[in-house]
Structure 1
Amino acid sequence: MSETVNVHDAKTHFSRLLDKAHAGEEIILSKAGKPYARLMPLATQPGQRQPGRLKRPGAQVDASFFDALPDAELDAWNGR
């Protein structure tokens, strides 16, 4: 649930509001009784990518996978 705070109170209690936002709470800043902005926590940064971390044990590509394609198949791919 979000808390609505007017701009004057937000300036006065900014540190407290930042702590609440960091803890996961969403704070709506209002000006003249109208919602104006949203103070919310940043999304967590994704972890470092690790190439190959999902490889299946023993999974191998057949060497014929890298052979050149026959001319007829290349023509089909190229729309000829």
Structure 2
Amino acid sequence: MSELAQYNMHEAKSQLSRIVERVEHGETVVISRAGKPVAKVVPLTDVRRRTGRGSLAGRISYAHDWDSAEVNEEIAADFGLLS
């Protein structure tokens, strides 16, 4: 197994595009602070692409009262939006 690419924090900030490009090509990159590894940037393995509008049709169901005044008031109250 090859050694992982490693960047210090300053390099990572200034070379983010290069790091993302490496990761897009399957590499894993380690980011370090003061020589200590603190983060790992890895490729996403299961990226799902939606095919467009309606691609979730028939897969989502709503409660009968999902948009009722009572439900909307409860949500507003939860977020402190009622006076």
Normalising by structure 1, we get a TM-score of 0.54
Structure 1 alignment gaps of length 5 or more: 47-80
**Highest Rg: 1 or 2?**
1
Match of residue 66 from structure 2:
none
Identity of aligned residues (%): 35
Match of residue 11 from structure 2:
9
Question: Which of residues 42, 45, 51 is equivalent to 1:43?
Answer: 45
Q: Deviations over 1:44-64 (max 9, x none)?
A: 347xxxxxxxxxxxxxxxxxx
- Measured in 1, the distance between the counterparts of 2:16 and 2:7 equals 10
Q: CA deviation at 1:16?
A: 0.5
Match of residue 24 from structure 1:
26
Equivalent AA in structure 2 for residue 32 of structure 1: A
Aligned-partner SS, 2:12:
helix
With CA pairs under 8 Å and 6+ residues apart, which has the higher RCO, 1 or 2?
1
Superposed counterparts of 1:43-62, under 5 Å? 43-45=45-47
Aligned residues between the structures: 47
